[in-house]
A and B are shown apart, each in its own frame.
Chain A
């Protein structure tokens, strides 16, 4: 086969590989070409984070507005300190909003839902959520129910 034909076919082969890689990146893993928008950080303390994990979803009214950056144990209060990064577009979350851990579906992933408060002031970067609601723990629920508390 002529050298030129080989070159063209191999070029197509490499392009096919790149195309497949783009497909895996954009369509399968949902990476977006636009640079990750700027975010700001707020904190929430929970007594029990359940199965919450980093990269988890943070949503308001079911719409994703940010993601969970990290979860650490606060060694003084023995609470879990969750760092949330929120899209900078959403900069008017009322300061008395509550962060609660919810489960999508019965067995789905856990995520943080921000339920809107009524305060006129909004959360600033670095602020803490005043009210939080921890993960629902079915075992604890049943044992509380059984012991009548």
Chain B
């Protein structure tokens, strides 16, 4: 009994300490932006590996999610004879909710885990400490470009996801199931507002990108430098990012779209 309480206390303190370290770490990275001449090539390389290489999975999932939405929406809406509302249903679902959230989940699995494993292995093979020995700050050289790359890539990926999903929904709804194309786009344009829906979705994805990238690089930087440590850090990245994204999504949705 006492043991359990003691463990609970220890876990809480561990959590708080790790949160404190993560915040300190974030501050260090954000303050220590490298000079553009050095940092820009590093940043571009990371945007390539974090963003561009995630594009394929994002496009494919977006297409299929859009197609499924079209199919499901059609079967439900045709019961009420209002299958022309399928366009607005697909667009609002994707732009407000699924675009940012699913992209963030995919991003955590595809790019976040890779970031953690890479940085963790650098730590395990003491590349980070040898950089420090050479007088190069690993926070600036290694961590900052990766954090910024994740932060910048995420909104782009989410917007692409929404676009591909809407096109996929159109493919199923208009081309296959025969919803009139004019009412598909017309209903969509009448109900989607640029500022309220599209921009709020982008803000969501910016927040998610920041959180996912932060968790990924921190877990890599803070991992136990053994093979077991790296694997558990990678797992933690995916689990924590997914939970953080879903939890934050609720809060952001309540703030943005809840009318109170």
Which A residues are closer than 8 A to B by beta carbons? 1, 3, 6-7, 9-10, 13-14, 16-17, 20-21, 23-25, 27-31, 55, 57, 105, 107
Cβ 8 A contact of B185, one of A3, A24, A27, A107 = A27
Residues of B within 8 A of A7 (CB): 44
**Complex: chain A residue closest to B167, CB-CB:** A23
User: Number of residue pairs across A and B with beta carbons under 8 Å?
Assistant: 73
| A6 CB contacts on chain B under 8 angstroms | 41, 44-45, 48
Interface residues of B (CB under 8 A from A): 41, 44-45, 47-48, 51-52, 55, 82, 91, 95, 153, 155-157, 159-160, 162-163, 166, 185, 188-190, 192-194, 197-198, 202
Q: When the two chains form their complex, are residues A9 and B189 in contact, meaning their CB atoms are under 8 A apart? A: no
Q: Is the CB of A29 within 8 A of B198?
A: yes
- A17 and B159 contact, Cβ closer than 8 Å, known pairs A10-B48, A28-B166: yes
Shortest distance between the CB of A56 and any CB in chain B (Å): 10
Inter-chain contact B194/A29, CB cutoff 8 Å = yes
A20 touches B159 (CB 8 A): yes
Contact call B193/A55, Cβ cutoff below 8 A: yes
Query: Which chain A residues border B41 with CB–CB below 8 Å?
Result: 3, 6
Which label, helix, strand, loop or mixed, suits the secondary structure of the B interface? helix
Max chain B CB contacts within 10 Å: which of A3, A20, A23, A57? A20
List B contacts of A55 (CB < 8 A): 193
Q: A30 touching B192 by the CB < 8 A rule?
A: yes
Give the CA-CA distance A131 to B240 in the complex, in Å.
60
Chain A residues, Cβ within 8 Å of B190: 30, 57
**Pairwise interchain contact A24-B162, C-beta atoms closer than 8 A:** yes
Picked from B51, B155, B197, the residue with its CB within 8 Å of the CB of A29 is: B197
B192's contact among A9, A13, A16, A29, by CB below 8 Å, is which? A29
A65 CB, min distance to chain B CBs, angstroms: 15
For the complex, what is the distance from the CA of A105 to the CA of B82, rounded to whole Å?
Answer: 10
Interface contact B185-A9, CB-CB below 8 Å:
no
- Among B45, B48, B51, B198, which residue has its beta carbon within 8 angstroms of that of A24? B198
| B194, A25: Cβ atoms closer than 8 Å | yes
Nearest residue (CB) in B for A23 is B163
Partner of B44 from the list A10, A16, A28, A31 (CB cut-off 8 Å) is A10
Q: How far is the CA of A87 from the CA of B32 in the complex (A)?
A: 52
Can you name 21 A-B pairs with beta carbons within 8 Å?
A: A3-B41, A6-B44, A6-B45, A10-B48, A13-B47, A13-B48, A13-B51, A17-B156, A17-B160, A20-B156, A21-B202, A24-B95, A24-B159, A24-B162, A24-B163, A24-B194, A25-B194, A27-B185, A28-B188, A30-B188, A30-B192
Add 18 more A-B contacts to A6-B41, A17-B155 (CB < 8 A): A3-B41, A6-B44, A9-B48, A10-B44, A13-B153, A17-B157, A17-B160, A20-B156, A20-B162, A20-B163, A23-B163, A24-B159, A28-B91, A28-B189, A28-B198, A29-B193, A30-B192, A55-B193
A29:B52 contact, CB within 8 angstroms: no
Distance of A27 Cα from B187 Cα, bound (Å): 11
Is B160 touching A20 in the complex (CB atoms < 8 A)?
Answer: yes
- Chain A residue numbers with a CB within 8 Å of B160 are 16-17, 20
